[in-house]
């Protein structure tokens, strides 16, 4: 049964081809100075930068630019952005980009006005902000993380070989987000596919936990079926609006905290994947894809009933004359076939991992307790070896 919970999500979404037309009205709610956060400059090539700047100018905003946010935002970049936001006393942080840019913007929002080290406070001690928080808005250009409608922020410390996420409370959620599926068309195929698997993984991390009959799992199954269907279309027709808009909407619902309600949630795939990324700087969704199947095969016996349900309800496996284990295993096989069909990386060797790195990667992996099996160090090593 569902446990007790409170659900609140303060983010206002504007979705569709005309979504950006709402940005000026949102900007009117904040002061003059806007920190414009974006990545490596692709938004200048595809024209989104000019569109956003035009709106900012028409709203008579003073724009301070914070460019160069990397796919795995670093602690050094966080320090830089927090200093820029503080010294310019900005009134709003506008993130224009994908999940990494949104994650970074939220980290800056809670770091600009603290005297402590934000890495230590938020990503080591996992404390909540007590300081002034700068409001964040987002214009999304890539989908996958759901960061446009949650409090999550993932920062990487390469010196310490750690990639850590902090899920902040709703006061850090973006105040608004602009979602135009056409803004995602220029994303390279590799990144699009990576984002698709990130969505899949977010749903599965929440789905593969608990043994009760709860509404969240039914919602998750519907989202998964829609994602699988749309992903097959999108890889063949990258500018198919219906497919790309569905994927964008699924990504938001996958991690806006709704389907986590009443669930313990797992997140061990993310912990292993993030450890791989901390040692390789590999693309997030691809690290998840590379370790998922070995992990799920390992925990399948401990959550057999849910893996059987997954096989039947998501992958349409016929259970007739098969054992529960056979049904569940066939579900993972069909998942593997889909992963190969859309072009995902299937092993960590292709992401730059060598066998002599496994021990250090395992040491960088946080062990979670919400799934069907709490792993130990040796089990993580085993999963990593099978991921090679």
pLDDT in tens, 9-18: 999 999 999 9
Average confidence (pLDDT) over 221-234? 98
| Measured distance CA(53)–CA(100) in Å, rounded | 20
Q: Classify residue 207 by burial, with Cβ atoms within 10 Å: 0-12, 13-18, 19+.
A: buried
Instruction: Note the Cα 12 to chain centre separation in Å.
Output: 19
User: What's the pLDDT at 2?
Assistant: 67
User: What's the pLDDT at 1?
Assistant: 62
| Measured distance CA(209)–CA(157) in Å, rounded | 29
Residue 342 has pLDDT above 70, yes or no: yes
| Measured distance CA(131)–CA(114) in Å, rounded | 6
48 Cβ contact partners less than 8 Å away, ≥ 6 residues apart:
96, 139, 141, 183
Average confidence (pLDDT) over 87-104? 97
User: What's the pLDDT at 163?
Assistant: 94
Which pTM does this prediction carry? 0.95
- What element of type H or E holds 35? strand 33-37
| Measured distance CA(227)–CA(244) in Å, rounded | 10
**Edge-first strand listing for the sheet containing 62-66:** 12-15, 176-179, 136-140, 92-97, 33-37, 62-66
Domain 189-387 grouped into CATH 3.40.50.300: no
| Measured distance CA(384)–CA(365) in Å, rounded | 11
Q: Residue 3 — pLDDT band, cuts 50, 70, 90? A: confident
Determine the angle formed by the axes of helices 377-387 and 284-299, rounding to 10 degrees: 120
pLDDT in tens, 127-182: 999 999 999 999 999 999 999 999 999 999 999 999 999 999 999 999 999 999 99
Domain 12-184 grouped into CATH 3.40.50.1970: yes
Q: Classify residue 316 by burial, with Cβ atoms within 10 Å: 0-12, 13-18, 19+.
A: exposed
Q: Spell out the alpha helix ranges (H) of the chain.
A: 23-27, 42-45, 48-58, 75-87, 99-111, 118, 189-207, 215-236, 241-254, 268-280, 284-299, 304-313, 324-342, 358-363, 377-387
Q: What are the residue boundaries of the structural domains of the chain, listed by start?
A: 12-184, 189-387
Distances (CA, A) of 301 to 211, 296, 328, 372: 13, 9, 9, 9
User: What's the pLDDT at 5?
Assistant: 87
Q: Residue 262 — pLDDT band, cuts 50, 70, 90? A: confident
pLDDT in tens, 31-76: 999 999 999 889 999 999 999 999 999 999 999 999 999 999 999 9
- Can you say whether the dihedral through the CA atoms of 47, 53, 56, 60 is positive or negative? negative
User: What's the pLDDT at 4?
Assistant: 83
% of the chain beyond a pLDDT of 90:
96
% of the chain beyond a pLDDT of 70:
99
Residue 88 has pLDDT above 70, yes or no: yes
Fold match, 12-184 / 189-387: no
From 100, 87, 89, 85, select the one nearest 146 (Cα to Cα): 100
| Measured distance CA(284)–CA(281) in Å, rounded | 8
| Measured distance CA(345)–CA(337) in Å, rounded | 12
């Amino acid at each position: 049964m569902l446990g007790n919970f409170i659900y609140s999500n303060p983010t206002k979404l504007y979705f569709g081809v005309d979504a950006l037309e709402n940005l000026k009205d949102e900007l009117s709610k904040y002061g003059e100075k806007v920190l414009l956060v974006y990545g490596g400059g692709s938004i200048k090539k595809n024209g989104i930068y000019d569109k956003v700047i035009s709106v900012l100018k028409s709203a008579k905003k003073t724009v301070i630019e914070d460019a160069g946010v990397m796919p795995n935002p670093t602690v050094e970049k966080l320090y830089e952005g927090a200093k820029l936001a503080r010294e310019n006393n900005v009134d709003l942080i506008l993130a224009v980009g994908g999940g990494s840019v949104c994650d970074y913007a939220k980290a800056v929002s809670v770091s600009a006005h603290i005297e402590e080290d934000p890495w230590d406070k938020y990503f080591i001690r996992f404390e909540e902000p007590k300081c002034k928080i700068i409001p964040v808005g987002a214009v999304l250009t890539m989908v996958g993380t759901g960061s446009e409608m949650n409090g999550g922020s993932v920062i990487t410390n390469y010196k310490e070989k750690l990639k850590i996420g902090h899920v902040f409370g709703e006061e850090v959620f973006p105040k608004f987000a602009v979602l135009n599926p056409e803004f995602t068309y220029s994303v390279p195929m590799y990144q699009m596919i990576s984002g698709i698997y990130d969505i899949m993984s977010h749903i599965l991390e929440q789905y593969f936990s608990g043994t009760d009959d709860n509404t969240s799992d039914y919602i998750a199954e519907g989202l998964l079926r829609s994602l699988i269907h749309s992903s097959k279309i999108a890889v063949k027709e990258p500018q198919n609006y219906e497919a790309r808009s569905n994927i964008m909407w699924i990504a938001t619902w996958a991690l806006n905290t709704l389907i986590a309600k009443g669930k313990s949630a797992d997140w061990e795939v993310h912990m292993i994947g993030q450890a791989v990324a901390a040692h390789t700087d590999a693309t997030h969704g691809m690290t998840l894809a590379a370790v998922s199947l070995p992990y799920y095969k390992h925990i399948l016996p401990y959550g057999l009933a849910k893996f059987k349900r997954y096989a039947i309800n998501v992958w349409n496996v016929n259970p007739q004359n098969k054992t529960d284990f056979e049904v569940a295993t066939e579900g993972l096989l069909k998942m593997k076939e889909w992963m190969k069909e859309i072009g995902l990386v299937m092993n960590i060797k292709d992401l730059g991992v060598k066998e002599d790195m496994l021990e250090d990667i395992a040491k960088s992996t946080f062990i979670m307790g919400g799934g069907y099996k709490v792993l130990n160090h040796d089990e993580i090593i085993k999963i990593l070896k099978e991921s090679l």
